[in-house]
Amino acid sequence: MYGSYSIAIDGSEAISTTEDFGHGTNNVAEFEALYRAINRTISLLEVRGVKPQHCRMNIFTDSTIVRNRIRHPNRGDNKSEGGKRMTAWTQKCTWLLLQFKTVEINWNPRSVNVQKFGH
């Protein structure tokens, strides 16, 4: 399992990375990448002396499950093991996103990420 993300602050790319997450499903990898990207963004802001509650977070993902679950955290399968796992990841990510002034999450075509990250 692996995931890629890039972080831009004030329009300038601060980091672009691909990380290995060990063994798991594609859906878990997509949430893990989001979770790590949010945490990393918070850390980068703190180094700059900026509080997340003063910032707008714009997320672009090629994962419809991530986008839909973050937009509608109370929807979706919460009974199957996979659904419970996705609910837990949604809650972890949503809790971090609550620190920001506003959050917008949008879907973009996979081809955009393939062009940027090479996979």
pLDDT digits (tens, 9 = 90+) for 43-79: 999 999 999 999 999 999 999 999 999 999 888 777 8
pTM comes to 0.91
Best CA proximity match to 18, nearest among 6, 9, 31 = 6
> Taking the CA of residue 55 as centre, how many other CA atoms within 13 Å lie in the half-sphere pointing to its CB?
23
Residues 6+ apart with CB under 8 A from 48: 9
Q: What pLDDT is stored for residue 116 in this prediction?
A: 80
Best CA proximity match to 15, nearest among 117, 97, 103 = 117
* The CATH fold of domain 2-117: Nucleotidyltransferase; domain 5 (3.30.420)
Confidence band, pLDDT 50/70/90 cuts, at residue 1: confident
Backbone angles phi, psi at 53, to 5 degrees: -65, -10
Tell me the per-residue pLDDT of 99-119, one tens digit each, with 9 for 90 and over: 999 999 999 988 887 788 877
